[in-house]
Structure 1
Amino acid sequence: MNLADKVLAVNDDLPIRTDKPVHSGKVRSVYWLTPQDSRRLIKEKGYPVREDAPLAIMVISDRISAFDCIWHGEQGMQGVPGKGAALNAISNHWFKLFKQQGLADSHILDIPHPFVWIVQKAKPVKIEAICRQYITGSMWRAYNKGERNFCGIKLPEGLTKDQKLPELLITPSTKGILKGIPNVPEVDDVNITRDDIQNNFAAFNFSNQADIQTYENLLTQGFDVISNALAQLDQIFVDTKFEFGYVEDENGQEKLIYMDEVGTPDSSRIWDGTAYQNGDIVENSKEGFRQLLLNHFPDPDILLNKDRMNERSELAKNNALPVDVLMDVSQVYVGIAEKITGEKLNLSDNPKAEIIDILRNQYGLID
């Protein structure tokens, strides 16, 4: 079988019964189930939600995005083999650990296939909740230019690139374009402070002010759980992004949960511990792919400068990356997933056909 066939690149064309448009993000597509199918599955499968809760099927893809663009490879490679299955397996592992340790639930109710989640509808908190244990990436770039105030946090003098920070820092940014909030520019992914959130909690979709503390607790506790587990595998949890939302339980009680993905190579930086002790950075996350792109193209400013987004989109569209580059990325994702879960990742020859078969025969969602 052709390598390109093993990649699930297009994930918004599955014949799942739905009465709403399919929402397709950079990596996942969301199919909202009909109220009838949601009710039927809640009853049949015993999901712990209200009987009329809206459910969705979330299908991950093997697409790879970096610098807000989707990248492709030669020989028709529209993604990275094993990437989707690796991301889901890692997230599933951490969500289970969070639950075992009494942190909070996630939006996932069922996992019919390695590429598929059945989720309940959540009201998302409009914050990219970012936690940092080391100074690197955008934070280092800002610090290196002389900024000492990052997301309202005062940074000490004398920090060096990639060093461990004196304490774990929460450095939030906006999720989506938020309008009418004082001091917050109306652009996606802009850094904000705790005061911004505190003074405008409803604009960020918090139900009440007390939940800001809850979100911070869940963020730092989740970070610590993953960091400690990775340390046992000689891996360093450098920084990560969490997302939160509200759902209702079967009694109609609202609760704050983890949503999207957690602790994956897409949403986090993970470094090899031994290499770091020896003064080297070996990335076990998407950051390695970002660095590769910065080195691959003659003008890295196109990738870093948000004002050059049109040029960046053209760059991604018109440049097929070498197959071995995508296979190296595949090795990183599959390797870290197998390390974290302790299980071999079995890659499907035809994920789309498998998904259709399972959702038709075991869930009755395909006519």
Structure 2
Amino acid sequence: MANTLMETNFQFPGQRSVYKGKVREVYTLDNDILVMIATDRLSAFDVVMPKGIPYKGQILNQIATQMMKATEDLVPNWLLATPDPNVAVGKACEPFKVEMVIRGYLSGHAAREYKAGKRVLCGVAMPEGMKENDKFPEPIITPATKAEKGDHDEDISREEILARGIVSEEDYLILEEYTRKLFQRGTDLAAGQGLILVDTKYEFGKTKEGEIVLIDEIHTPDSSRYFYVEGYEERQEKGEAQKQLSKEFVRQWLISSGFQGLEGQRVPEMSDDYIQTVSDRYIELYESITGGSFDKADVSNIQKRITKNVLGCLEQL
């Protein structure tokens, strides 16, 4: 079993603060520089699993990097450099307190709401007569408020975002425009790999110069849902479940083991063999989404490798 990166405690030059999320750890440095490290932690149902998944952080970081580069002609982003397989370095921004969720298909949360009889999601009407995983006539934007630590993100409408002053109308129109452009590009990139980009979320921030930029990850299996194009129509006609490419397989394993993150439930034991299968699936996700082969980084001493690579990068900035 390969070594995993579960937590970091770096002291970079000019370091001002550290934020530790469920998967990523973000170091804020002087000169408005951020060092974002993707760990190998696995989160499901808002719970971090006790054991890491080999190469998961590298996979997420490298997919996000490739997708940032593939969309930078459409939307400016925060990224300056990727000095290490697990690390992205970029411009510090003030994040908007909304996640821009966009859905091309009636899947996941939207499908559950639809099944419960709702026909309006985040202020957006959904047509009658749809089946789970049907394509919407046009992609719909269903924003979520960024939750405080420990809470689930909540659905919110455009009208409420503006009424509560969470985002100004001028900025929100830009967020919507960027979200639609990114989703169209993501859809085209996925189609080139025989995939359907079902839904995803984007996060944006504003630089101190006032520019709105794309931040965080983009089009990764942790932030997006993909279906395979081959067999999609046939499965819909037969009412069968779609073949998906996301971390949904982990959620389903947890559910089958009696865990959904509810109070009193215990995280099931993940054997080394199961962890290896999860790692293998993430590598499969990487290769399916990017169309390239995955090169495993040297994990003999991940912390030392990251320190060396980040320090070298900071000297160049």
Task: Choose from 325, 340, 344 the match for 2:274.
Answer: 325
2:69 counterpart SS class: helix
Q: Match for 1:200: what amino acid?
A: R
Q: Distance in 2 between matches of 1:332 and 1:236?
A: 18
Q: Distance in 2 between matches of 1:21 and 1:321?
A: 33
Q: Is the 8 A contact 2:2 2:299 kept in 1?
A: no
Partner of 2:264: 311
Q: Is the 8 A contact 2:221 2:247 kept in 1?
A: yes
Displacement of 1:357 after TM fit?
Answer: 2.2
Displacement of 1:143 after TM fit?
Answer: 1.1
Cα deviation per residue 1:228-258 (whole Å; 9 max; x = unaligned)?
Answer: 111111111011011011014xxx3x11111
Percent same amino acid among aligned pairs? 30
* 1:1-367 to 2 correspondences below 5 Å: 3-5=1-3, 7-10=4-7, 12-33=8-29, 35=30, 38=31, 54-72=32-50, 78-99=51-72, 102-177=73-148, 188-201=152-165, 204=166, 206=167, 208-248=168-208, 252=209, 254-279=210-235, 280-297=241-258, 302-303=260-261, 308=262, 310-312=263-265, 315-316=266-267, 319-347=268-296, 348-350=298-300, 351-361=302-312, 363=314
Cα deviation per residue 1:249-284 (whole Å; 9 max; x = unaligned)?
Answer: xxx3x1111111010000011112214244142221
Q: Is the 8 A contact 1:82 1:330 kept in 2?
A: yes
**How many residue pairs align between the two structures?**
308
Instruction: Tell me the TM-score normalised to structure 2 length.
Output: 0.90
Q: Match for 2:88: what amino acid?
A: W
RMSD of Structure 2 on Structure 1 (CA): 2.1
Q: Match for 2:42: what amino acid?
A: I
For the pair shown, the structure with the greater C-alpha radius of gyration is 1
Q: Is the 8 A contact 2:193 2:290 kept in 1?
A: no
Partner of 1:51: none
**CA 1:85/1:275 → structure 2, altered by over 3 Å: closer, same or farther?**
farther
Displacement of 1:292 after TM fit?
Answer: 2.0
Cα deviation per residue 1:323-345 (whole Å; 9 max; x = unaligned)?
Answer: 33332322232223223334332
Q: Distance in 2 between matches of 1:15 and 1:177?
A: 26
In the alignment, structure 1 segments of 5+ residues that lack a partner are 39-53, 73-77, 179-186
